[in-house]
């Protein structure tokens, strides 16, 4: 077993490349399968649009005093 990447033989390098490729395919496959699909499109959003009409000023603040 070679403990150095530089002194490793050709078969060890091939094993490293194959393991990295399998891991990359696994991560990409998990990412594609975990994608949430929805029938709604961006044009048909279920959240209503709220327009800003007035300026609101709050008089109190909820600041905490740390001692």
- Please report, in tens digits, the pLDDT of each residue of the chain (67 residues total): 666 777 888 888 899 999 999 999 999 998 888 876 655 555 555 667 777 777 767 666 666 666 6
User: Which pLDDT belongs to residue 67?
Assistant: 61
pLDDT value, residue 17: 93
Tell me the C-alpha to C-alpha distance, in Å, between residue 14 and each of 3, 33, 38, 41: 15, 28, 41, 45
**Which DSSP string corresponds to 23-40?**
HHHHHHHHHHHTPPP-S-
pLDDT number for residue 6: 76
Closest CA to 25 of 36, 33, 14, 13: 33
Q: What single DSSP character describes residue 66?
A: -
């Amino acid at each position: 077993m070679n403990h150095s990447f530089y002194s490793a033989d050709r078969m060890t390098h091939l094993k490293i490349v194959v393991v990295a490729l399998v891991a990359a395919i696994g991560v990409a496959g998990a990412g594609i399968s975990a994608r949430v699909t929805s029938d709604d499109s961006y044009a048909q959003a279920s959240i209503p649009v709220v327009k800003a009409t007035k300026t609101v000023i709050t008089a109190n603040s909820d600041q905490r005093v740390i001692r």
